[in-house]
Every structure is written in C-alpha cells, then in structure tokens.
Amino acid sequence: MLIGLGLGPGEPEYLTLRAVRTLREADAVFVPGKIAQELVSSYRDAEILDFPMTGDEGRILACMQQNADRIAVVARSGVAVLGILGDPNFFSTYARLNAIMKTRYPEIRCRTEPGISAITAFASVAGLSLSGGFLVTDGPAEARSRIMLKVRRPRKVADVLRKEGYRSFVLVERMCMEETRVYRDAELPEESDYMSILYAER
C-alpha cells in the first residue's frame, strides 16, 4: 500500500496525530525534499526522492516513473508513505505520482491522509476570514472544479451546475462521523444533512 500523507505547511506542530502514527507505523517513508525530511525527522528517517521543479515534462515523467518503481519495492508487501507538504489532494505532487502508480502497479492500493493545506494556513498567518467563497487556482483563470459547503438540496444544485458545464458530482454527507455517506452523480439525494460537501467537476 502507498499512503500519500499530508505534512502541513511546514510547522512541525501542525502534523496531525494521525500523521505521526502513520509515520511511525510505516515500513518506509519517502519525501520530496529536505523540508519534508526535517518535518518528519522527529518520528522517522525518510528517504528523499527526486521530484524536480521544472517545466520539462519528459524529465518529470522519468522521475515519476523512477520514484514509482522505488516505492513499489516497499508497497507491494508493506506500507510505504510519501510525505507531502500541505495536503496530498490539493495541488500536490502526489496526484501525478498516483496516476503513474495506477498504470505501472495497479495491484498496489493507494490512499491519502489529509494535512493542513497552504490555503488554511495562509488565512491564519494573514489574519483573514475566507467566508463567502473564493477561487483557488495554480494558473488557469477558470477552475475545472467547484466545492460547495452546506448543500441541503444536492440534486437541485447539480441540475443548476450542469447548465454551467459541470458533469461529474460527488457529495459527502457528515464527513468523518459514524454516519458518513458518499454519493456520486445519479446517486445524489434530493435532500442532505447541513454538514454536507458537494464537489462538481467540468
């Protein structure tokens, strides 16, 4: 198994309790650089893998494949952890690596553990409230997905969003609670709990 583990924005005390336990229990821990290595050093030794910051797609792909091969040595029979700054599902190197893993090693299960993202850390450092909605992008002027909170009538909301070009939907109701439910596309209910999040993708 490969676990993409969120390490937070760089403050060691922002590591979650679950992150610390995951680091300690893993068979091997990998990180993309020295900052992440230092973050986990109180709990585990970690091997640095090369994730180049470059526009050379050929080099990026070659490094991703090499990293996937290295991780697979452990993940085939044990638990390999890739520690990522921030959150592994939020503008993260892990997403690209995960795609390579699924192609080269489809038998290896991959999952993630969230971390404090740069966005929530930024709001705290800057003293800002992000209520009211905001657009987050790493370049494109128009984002390909949208996340909506407190969606009480998800099917109705999805019908409206389809007119704007959105085609894929996921609703998570009462996340991280005993009654957690996940609905996709045609499964969306007419009504949902106040504590619901709807993801829509073009």
Q: What is the pLDDT of residues 18-56, one digit of tens each?
A: 999 999 999 999 999 999 999 999 999 999 999 988 888
- The amino acid occupying position 152 is R
d(CA 65, CA 82): 15
Rg for the chain, CA atoms, rounded: 18
Q: Which stretches within the chain are classed as H helix?
A: 17-25, 34-40, 57-75, 93-104, 118-126, 154-162
What average pLDDT does the chain have? 93
**β-sheet bridge partners, residue 110:** 2
Instruction: Check residue 165 and give its pLDDT.
Output: 94
pLDDT digits (tens, 9 = 90+) for 1-20: 999 999 999 999 999 999 99
The pair of structure tokens assigned to 137 is 């992008």
Which residues, 6+ apart, have CB-to-CB distance to 153 below 8 Å?
190, 191, 192
- The amino acid occupying position 77 is S
Which residues, 6+ apart, have CB-to-CB distance to 82 below 8 Å?
2, 3, 4, 5, 29, 30, 31, 32, 49, 71, 88, 94, 97
Instruction: Check residue 102 and give its pLDDT.
Output: 96
Higher pLDDT, 103 or 130: 103
pLDDT digits (tens, 9 = 90+) for 147-199: 999 999 999 999 999 999 999 999 999 998 888 999 999 999 999 999 999 99
Instruction: Check residue 187 and give its pLDDT.
Output: 95
Could you report how far apart the first and last alpha carbons of the chain are, in Å? 30
pLDDT digits (tens, 9 = 90+) for 50-106: 998 888 889 999 999 999 999 999 999 999 999 999 999 988 889 999 999 999 999
